[in-house]
Amino acid sequence: MFTTAIVFSQYGFNNLSVESRHGTMLAFEAIRYIFQAFIFAYLGASLLTTQNKWNALGASIIILCIIPVLRFIGVYLWPLIFKICQKPFPIAKAETKLLWYSGLMRGIIAFALSLQIDSPDRTTYILTITLIVVMSTTLICATFFNHFTKTIGLVDVNLIKVGERK
């Protein structure tokens, strides 16, 4: 199904009329919003209905402080290596900053992986930490995303016209 979507995106989308492109984009955007609402409703319900261990709040705060540092090291290590080798890095500085910022958000995959842990004494502790980190990073990073892209000089995402592809 994923391969079919890629093939359709590459070949079929360009053969549609402007109205069909617009309608297709709106339909997929509506589906995206519906699934996004479902995921956040599930996360919120999980946060309120599970037996959370709220002593995990301290560990969550430590993890929230460590995530930006480790993400910075992970993203900016390659430009440093390129600079040491005296080769130009193929990604612009603003795009590298965006890679760093977008990687700060922890998502539903982290929550799904924490559900797979099979240790009865540690499951609720890890689940609580994961829920706190996922909810806080998603809320904070998503709230300031447009402001961050404007600050680093990238184009405002709202200005891109529907159906326009590069």
What is the model's pLDDT at position 165?
47
Report residue 71: phi and psi, to 5°. Answer: -65, -40
Return the pLDDT at 86: 94
User: How far apart are the C-alpha atoms of 96 and 79, rounded to whole Å?
Assistant: 9
131 CB burial (10 A radius; 0-12, 13-18, 19+): buried
Angle, helices 123-143/57-84, rounded to nearest 10 degrees? 60
Decide if 50 is inside a domain: yes
CB 64 within 8 A of CB 133: yes
**Alpha-carbon distances of 116 from 7, 50, 87, rounded to whole Å:** 33, 15, 43
Number of domains in the chain: 1
> Would you say residue 165 lies in a domain?
no
Q: Which amino acid is at 140?
A: I
Question: Tens place of pLDDT for every residue, the chain, 166 residues?
Answer: 667 777 777 777 777 788 888 888 888 888 888 887 887 777 777 766 666 666 778 888 998 999 999 999 999 999 999 999 999 999 888 889 988 998 888 877 787 777 788 877 777 778 888 888 888 888 888 888 888 888 888 865 555 454 454 4
Query: What confidence score (pLDDT) does residue 129 get?
Result: 84
- 94 found inside a domain: yes
- Residue 166 covered by a domain: no
Q: Tell me whether residue 14 is in a domain.
A: yes
Structural domain of residue 42, as residue ranges? Answer: 2-159
Which phi-psi region, left, alpha or beta, contains residue 163 (left: φ > 0; alpha: ψ -120 to 50)?
A: left
